[in-house]
Chain A
Amino acid sequence: ETGVTQSPTHLIKTRGQQVTLRCSSQSGHNTVSWYQQALGQGPQFIFQYYREEENGRGNFPPRFSGLQFPNYSSELNVNALELDDSALYLCASSLEVTASYGYTFGSGTRLTVV
């Protein structure tokens, strides 16, 4: 059973640019959640996708958007990057939205905005 994989592992972007982060969910999992973890903080919920539809969103502006594909892999897109977007971006998958167990995160993408 393969786990959650994220790419790229590290990324440096310039303020104002756009970035796409990718997540391959664990085999058989149809729900993907994205989190942002700034330095010294706990992860913050960005949004969740269930069967290709957005299923809940945290307190993030519209320039954070996402997609989920038929194979349940997912993308996180961030437009008009700001310095405060520098963070570790985490993806987690689960079998169903109502799964009661804890999420297993991927290894994350470290985004630095300069």
Chain B
Amino acid sequence: QKEVEQNSGPLSVPEGAIASLNCTYSDRVSQSFFWYRQYSGKSPELIMSIYSNGDKEDGRFTAQLNKASQYVSLLIRDSQPSDSATYLCAVRSNFGNEKLTFGTGTRLTIIP
């Protein structure tokens, strides 16, 4: 079982709709959770972080965390063509070297 799992996609969403991206993780001691956006040929850009159960909203983005189910999600409201990218889920255990463990990413395409 992979430590962090994401559907690779591609996920196609009409412009203006809600895009829903999901991530599951295997390490129960994980404490910090992040979503990165990566455009083709560029480095990952941090867009959301979440540390406690529930929802966290930032503009059009909402991160959701359920530690009991070991599940993290990212919702993008009013999707724009500029949201087309690969979204990476990352998890950190907060022990030792604080390394991030990434999923393989979900490729999102917003259709105009």
A41 / chain B contacts, CB cutoff of 8 Å: 104-105
13 additional A-B residue pairs with CB within 8 Å, beyond A42-B103, A48-B99, A97-B98: A33-B97, A43-B44, A45-B99, A48-B98, A50-B97, A56-B97, A99-B98, A100-B94, A102-B90, A102-B100, A105-B45, A108-B42, A108-B43
Interface residues of B in 42-67 (CB under 8 A from A): 42-46, 49, 51
CA distance A35 to B90 in the complex (A): 13
On whether the beta carbons of A104 and B46 are closer than 8 Å, the reply is yes
Chain A contact residues (Cβ within 8 angstroms of B): what range? 20 to 34
- Which B-chain residue is minimally distant from A104 (CB atoms)? B46
CA distance A58 to B96 in the complex (A): 12
- Which A-chain residue is minimally distant from B33 (CB atoms)? A102
* B19 is an interface residue with CB less than 8 A from chain A: no
